[in-house]
Amino acid sequence: MQCIEKQPLVLTTFDSYGKRIYRLNYQLQTRVTTDFLNAIRDKDTLHKAADSLEVIKAFLSALQHANDTFATKYLDRTQEIGQKVEAEMESLIKETEVAYRAFINRLNAIVEIDDDGTYDNLVKDINAAIEQYNQVVIDRRGVKTTEPDTNEAFIEEFTAE
């Protein structure tokens, strides 16, 4: 009879955390499960009720282990993906720089040969975009000076890295 009296207490707590946890994203599922397990452990009456029922005790133990394991593996996987993206970005940046340099070299050669000035507007547009980009870099790096010599030295130092 004592087991039957304790079941509603644990089940009510279980139900209070929602019946559609499976519809949440992984991080929220893990958080809700952790909160539920903490509620059982932290409230003395719930903890005693759960411990007195062997089936619930085994379930909570298995749930705790599964939740901890999932949280660890999920975090490891997320970090692994983040590191992969960083490595991919480095190679993409290098490839982009090589393609940009080849484009600029070719454009300079065409401009050198061209007597009509057909590419003058394109060169001006590219130079304006470069200036804007360099200003963004300066602003993000926190360089507050507006002296052209200092900015150009900073840009040359930055692009040399």
Mean pLDDT across the stretch 17-26? 84
Spans of all domains in the chain: 2-77, 90-160
Could you tell me the pLDDT band of residue 132, with boundaries at 50, 70 and 90? Answer: very high
pLDDT in tens, 40-88: 888 888 788 777 778 888 888 999 999 999 999 999 998 888 787 777 8
Mean pLDDT across the stretch 140-149? 64
Q: Helices 54-113 and 120-141, interaxial angle, to 10°?
A: 140
User: pTM to 2 decimals?
Assistant: 0.49
How far is the CA of 89 from the CAs of 30, 85, 86, 137, in angstroms?
A: 30, 6, 5, 18
